[in-house]
Structure 1
Amino acid sequence: MAPTAAGTTDAGVVPHWDGGEDPTTPLPTTTSAADDGTVPPPRPAPNSPERPQSRQSAQSPAPPPGQAAPTRPPAGERNISDTGIRALLVPVPDASPTAPPEAPGSVLPGRPDPARPRVRTPQAAPEPEDGTPCPSCATPNAPRRHFCHSCATPLTDTTRKNAEGPYAGERPRLHRDRTRWIARAVVAAVIAAVVAGGIIGGPPAARAVQDHFAKRVQVPAATWKASHSGPEQGAKLAFDGYSNTWWGTGYSGASDGQYLEAGFGQPTDLLNMVITPGASARTPQATDPARPHEFDLLVTDSAGKRHLLRYRLNDGGPQKIDVRVRDAMTVRLVLHSAYGATDAKQVAIAELEFYGRSTG
């Protein structure tokens, strides 16, 4: 029986300890009256001065005088009652039952685990049953292989059947190709002919070379005239330096035999001449006058010698022709045929320009 607040015992009340000894400490074993025939001394009351006030005994009170004490079973045969077990429990103040877990709220999605690399177990490649046999060890190899997988011997013949050139330790052959010697002989002959021609020809040959590399300057015409001119299309318009003015023969058709002549005030080394056929430098139109096609160029030098040159022009646009006459005094252009000649059109020349050797 457990002690109450008044010192009495009650089977349904759990004792409350204020302090002092641990209530779970087992009580010392006492000798009963039946064991030795003596009665144990009585224990002090809970409120007596011999026992502290803070601890209360959980044992039963002593029997009244004159009455034998109840016998107890041996220590090994004692049974612990529910009251004794409850007396060992220590109550927890302000204890409350555990609340059930709350429902989980919203959480962020978890990160997926990264994919683990797949580890391949090294395995030996299966050997082909049928394949190209190695010329060294006769091991069959797959058709796509170039070297034996057993001894690394080349499976294909890498040597050139028709090898050109000397081998190691072989003396190179002499070059017996005579083509280059023939070419060198031809070049030497040409150079010798040019030198000999320059020596034999004298000044004319030297002048021809000089004229080819000479710097050219424009030589203006000092005088001009024509066999015939159309109204308001005089010969002067062919030497005024403008390509939108032109000289006209004044006759319809090809104007065969009509000429245009320019004169220089002093002997001039004439090299080139630029002629602009038609009424302008642009592409000829259907309504434009006729353009010269074939003509003769008659050049007179300071010695009175005449040089006759024949030319053929394309239809439209300024065109350059070579003259190469030393000490030229006059230049006459004689027409023979024309482009676009009709009974209602006359032959026109927009501009004549002369270029000679630079004296600077």
Structure 2
Amino acid sequence: MKFLKRNPILSLVNDFFIDSPLPANITYFWNAGSLLGVVLVLQILTGVTLAMHYTPNTLYAFASVEHIMRDVNYGWLLRYLHANGASFFFIVVYIHIGRGLYFASYRPPRLILWTVGVVIYIVMMATAFLGYVLPWGQMSFWGATVITNLLSAIPWLGQDIVYFLWGGFSVDNATLNRFFSLHYLLPFVLAALVAVHILGLHQYGSTNPLGVRGDYLRFHPYFTSKDLVGFVWLFILLAILVFFMPNYLGHPDNYIPANPLVTPHHIVPEWYFLPFYAILRAIPNKVLGVIAMFSSLLILLTLPWFTRLRLAGNTPLMKSLFWFFVANFFLLMWLGGQPIHSPYIQIGQICTVLYFSYFVIILIMG
């Protein structure tokens, strides 16, 4: 231990992962941060390996994925770990954000910590969208077409931005190359943002269920043992998904090669985008729908700036409203996968209003 403290590099490891003080009363919900770190490492390792065999060309992309699945040693395992690892990434990040909202972890002095965390979440969504396009199946192609077309709602410059993203006048080979390059790059940007996030956590400390100062314990061994429990459960659940139902969270149309001449009957994104897709579809006007969709993410950034009272988030009323918000979020997720007709549109509009109302109440009461 003395060697760890004397060495200039290892002393940082010691400060952050061994002697770092944490509240004694935090629960297993505080494991989500370390679980996200493990999943990020898993995604980078499997992603770099898959990139060695993937061909970012519209003529060969689908075939190269099948080559990985059928011909590369354990290629099927790498691909299923990567695809389902992305789903687990979002499952854990939603738990992490939910815990932050429930215990009002966005309150000062954790402004930078929360802001960087929201930026990480947005970069995650961009990375996942880019990765979903790479298999070049039907849903990949049409999902890319629909989502990138949303930027055309930007006044004056929108269509030019879309053409720039596409690298032409339609989603084609240049688009796939750009998406592959960005999908490879962004995980390393994520890793850098995570390092900043950890620095912020070390600087301002962690919250706890009571929201007040109490006894503090060293990170190791008191909380590393808790993290190990979380790691075991994570890998058990991921293994069940990978080995027994690897395509459960995917869409069957993505096993059909991309065909620009045949539009799928019902275009849907991955499950973790469905709540925001439902918000987009709930508003008939394209520009207002795009604004609402992006606002549903960016509103998270406003919470530290407009909330000041430390205990407001821990009142029984706010906790009850939080669980109502969670139920509404899952309802939006279900609505995002439904056809675009009555009564789903009307229900989506009500749920969209309720979604934003929760944050308005936080801002007013905070």
Common fold, TM-score beyond 0.5?
no
TM norm structure 1: 0.17
Q: Rg: which structure is higher?
A: 1
Query: Of Structure 1 and Structure 2, which has the larger fraction of its residues in strand?
Result: 1
Query: Of Structure 1 and Structure 2, which has the larger fraction of its residues in helix?
Result: 2
